[in-house]
Amino acid sequence: DAMVIQNPRYQVTQFGKPVTLSCSQTLNHNVMYWYQQKSSQAPKLLFHYYDKDFNNEADTPDNFQSRRPNTSFCFLDIRSPGLGDAAMYLCATSRQGRMGTEAFFGQGTRLTVV
Amino acid sequence: SQQGEEDPQALSIQEGENATMNCSYKTSINNLQWYRQNSGRGLVHLILIRSNEREKHSGRLRVTLDTSKKSSSLLITASRAADTASYFCATDYGGATNKLIFGTGTLLAVQP
């Protein structure tokens, strides 16, 4: 059974047209992450939520925003996608405490900007 | 940047051989994790080693952690063609937010 679900799997958007990627989880994990992964590179953390607390990475462009309306859902909004934003976007969750635990990843959304 | 470095960047071996990948990181960690990624797919967790552990095993996987050198290694024994994938280490820096930062990755190709 899928535990971290990302929709859609493939998204094509026009240059400058806002786009939203979604992630849902059935694990009731308190931490949710968004990563950007470009071809042949490592996943790059954009931001993450620890419970309701939002943590933005210093080098995440302002063009990227996120919402977490409840424990189960998290959204990545790209306000004005550029060609350089074409990438795989990965959502992950974990149940974090003092020592941390493994993260569970969705299958990703591959974003194409035309 | 807190991103860790992995070496080698790419590794090609024959089926049945062992594969070793190394990861170095920069600051104190809660734990270090290894993940596998098949081409174009999400990441799959392999093994987690806590900062107070030195070695851990899971099936054909062996992970070591040296916190004094800020380094870890992943050994895959008796490799199979199905082990072909990218392997990433990820460091959990703990603190108030438990963010997980990935290393640069090793692309492993196992030739049948």
Contacts of A50 in chain B (CB under 8 A): 96-98
Contacts of A58 in chain B (CB under 8 A): none
pLDDT value for A33: 94
Instruction: Report the pLDDT averaged over residues B7-15.
Output: 95
Q: Is the predicted pLDDT of residue A104 greater than 60, yes or no?
A: yes
The verdict on B10 touching A (C-beta cutoff 8 Å) is no
pLDDT value for A15: 97
Are the beta carbons of A42 and B43 separated by less than 8 Å? no
| A82 to chain B, closest Cα gap in Å | 21
Which tokens hold the place of B66? Answer: 């040296």
Of all residues in chain B, the one with the smallest CA distance to A53 is: B97
pLDDT value for B97: 65
| B71 to chain A, closest Cα gap in Å | 18
Percent of chain A predicted with pLDDT > 70: 96
Contacts of A35 in chain B (CB under 8 A): 102
Which tokens hold the place of B65? Answer: 């952690």
Q: Is the predicted pLDDT of residue B98 greater than 80, yes or no?
A: no
Of all residues in chain A, the one with the smallest CA distance to B85 is: A40
Instruction: Report the pLDDT averaged over residues A5-27.
Output: 96
- Eight-class DSSP state of B97: T
Average pLDDT, chain B: 92
Task: Encode pLDDT of B20-63 as tens digits.
Answer: 999 999 888 889 999 999 988 889 999 999 999 999 999 999 99
| Coil/strand/helix, residue A1 | coil
Contacts of B100 in chain A (CB under 8 A): 33, 45, 48, 92, 94, 100, 103
Question: What are the E-state strand segments in chain B?
Answer: 5-7, 10-14, 19-24, 31-37, 43-50, 55-58, 61-66, 71-76, 85-92, 100-102, 106-111
Residue A99 pLDDT class (50, 70, 90 cuts): low
pLDDT value for B61: 98
Task: Encode pLDDT of A19-58 as tens digits.
Answer: 999 999 999 999 999 999 999 899 999 999 988 899 999 9
- Eight-class DSSP state of A79: S
Are the beta carbons of A103 and B88 separated by less than 8 Å? no
Task: Encode pLDDT of A72-87 as tens digits.
Answer: 999 999 999 999 999 9
pLDDT value for B2: 66
Q: Is the predicted pLDDT of residue B93 greater than 90, yes or no?
A: no
The answer to whether B53 and B30 are in contact (CB under 8 A) is no
Are the beta carbons of A110 and B43 separated by less than 8 Å? no
Contacts of A88 in chain B (CB under 8 A): 40
pLDDT value for B99: 82
Are the beta carbons of A45 and B48 separated by less than 8 Å? no
